[in-house]
Structure 1
């Protein structure tokens, strides 16, 4: 998830949480990224070297049937047949990688105390927490993707400004699609109106950066395409979460009524993402070690701005490198993160 300035935070990437060691282990909360975090071969350097991660990825691919076979082939390819930013690749692969990394962390003996997903990351959180069976979650993701194929061409734009500053400049169905930080807002809308808004904002001195997306996620532009998604969701069994899930759509822990409401899940591609308010709610409930379990370090960079992290009460730890590198970089990053997590949890290394 790029910032409006284009800084990925790589210069500040460390193998351990920042700040002094806490007096007692902090509970772990997983941050699960969504659209914009994807890149070619994201986390593929772990496959097949991390057996738990690899088995979880294969489980997702199997649940997705023939689509899963094509997804796996494009995921490990240097030159995918379908571009990674296409909705049929970005969304299901982000879901799969987030889910598999969550399973990997759990295999280290770390039980997360909370989950917070951004966009499609909330579906991964729901699967990890047991709200949906993996097979059902995979089917919901594929159904969402197929519907979004019918959406008009659109996009997303990260702007270094508060939502209130941008309101007077929005038109042509361009809306606030996500609030990632106090001055990091993502706009979404149809392609041509979004381009016009971007040009006007740049002319007025706003710093803007496109978010890798070919769809206007989290805007009314996709409402017609996603209509009817409730039918599948109404047929799927849901359960109370085994782990609290802080919703990026309500900025609060998921309630039973929301979990049971097919419309709540069906509206997610249209509804704005309130990541910063959700993060604020999570960190307002206590100190956490925030672990970004997904590609890149976009959520890590955002979370480092939070007052609770800057004050040292909470800390942030990414699992993967900030950007695409050689396959060994994925393995080295995960090994360093694992050591840091086990050290904070006072757990011994297990071979």
Structure 2
């Protein structure tokens, strides 16, 4: 089906969105060339100090993000899942602050993906960095107390329809579609043994099936009780009107009210993502430039696959310093 032509702002100016990835964004030493940038140093200092105040005893997030020899994602998520979450969040927020400072013309909105919604809320000013750290600590406690079965996420090169057909044919009712990321990138969530069965079948059909680094099956009903408890705690959180519109892959249109913004903060636990649908809607609304705020080109790759003809870039992909970010931004926005 043909996309509608993108609209523009008054005067013909096209919109730019800053995309905030989730847990796939962790990369050891990702900020080692940016650690002296004042905004980045402030993020690292605040995350470490707030984490220590909340009782964190693992390696400082600043070390995880400035030492290239820090634990790799698989090792870190097994040994220090909270550290993995905090490092992912801090990396995305820190990179986003640099991009927002350097981007000209300016960014018009933020878009979160999965737990990247917490980073998007922070970047937009709806919650503070200290709140984001506290929410991740609370979420970690809830996940540990839930005593969940072994479960995870699986990325495939199937369309959503093909994935649904495969799950029906294999009779795997506990495996759910967690994310419709691109026309041919669907992520599945469920118990490990059932994901293993999906992997065998998909590969036998010549399709790709890649386990993702994840402590559990996000975007799955398995986390319903955790979601309910997290939502109750979110009611007490102060939410500020965001300086930038906050979009998410779980709902249509931007989140505007405090209730909607709180919903965004918890959605990654149980709600499936429709990232491709969100991108198409944003294109129709005039967003033609999509900047990835992570140290990898995760969301820009998905946007490029789903939105031909639009501009996509990952200015903060490593290795990177300020000068290279400035050059990449100029190429994308100029």
TM-score band by shorter chain is: 0.7 to 0.9
| Structure 1: tracts of 5 or more residues without a match | 1-22, 347-351
Name whichever of 105-114 and 206-215 sits farther off: 105-114
SS at match of 1:36: helix
Q: Is 1:298–2:287 an aligned residue pair?
A: no
Name whichever of 83-92 and 274-283 sits farther off: 83-92
Q: Is 1:88–2:82 an aligned residue pair?
A: yes
Q: Is 1:317–2:318 an aligned residue pair?
A: no
The match for 2:265 is: 265
Measure, in 1, the Cα distance between the counterparts of 2:30 and 2:332.
27
The match for 1:15 is: none
The match for 2:203 is: 202
Distance 1:344 1:302, change over 3 A: closer
Measure, in 2, the Cα distance between the counterparts of 1:117 and 1:315.
18
Measure, in 1, the Cα distance between the counterparts of 2:265 and 2:42.
27
Q: Give the count of matched residue pairs.
A: 310
The match for 2:6 is: none
Q: Is 1:279–2:279 an aligned residue pair?
A: yes
1:176-225, CA deviations, whole angstroms, 9 ceiling, x for partnerless residues?
A: 11111011100011111111121122223322122222311111222234
Q: Is 1:338–2:326 an aligned residue pair?
A: yes
**Which of these residues, 45, 50, 63, is aligned with residue 73 of structure 1?**
63
SS at match of 1:143: helix
**Alpha carbons 1:43, 1:320 under 8 Å: kept:** no
Shift of 1:160: 0.9
The match for 1:19 is: none
The match for 1:193 is: 194
The match for 1:30 is: 18
1:1-351 matched pairs, under 5 angstroms: 26-48=14-36, 50-65=37-52, 66-67=55-56, 70-77=60-67, 78-80=69-71, 83-86=75-78, 87-108=81-102, 110=104, 111-149=106-144, 150-170=147-167, 171-256=172-257, 258-259=259-260, 262=262, 265-307=265-307, 310-311=308-309, 314-321=310-317, 329-331=319-321, 334-342=322-330
Runs of 4+ in structure 1 off by over 4 angstroms are 23-26, 342-346
With normalisation by structure 1, the TM-score equals: 0.79
**Alpha carbons 1:154, 1:188 under 8 Å: kept:** yes
Name whichever of 157-166 and 37-46 sits farther off: 37-46
Measure, in 1, the Cα distance between the counterparts of 2:205 and 2:107.
44
Measure, in 2, the Cα distance between the counterparts of 1:185 and 1:141.
26
SS at match of 1:290: strand
SS at match of 2:60: helix
Shift of 1:252: 2.0
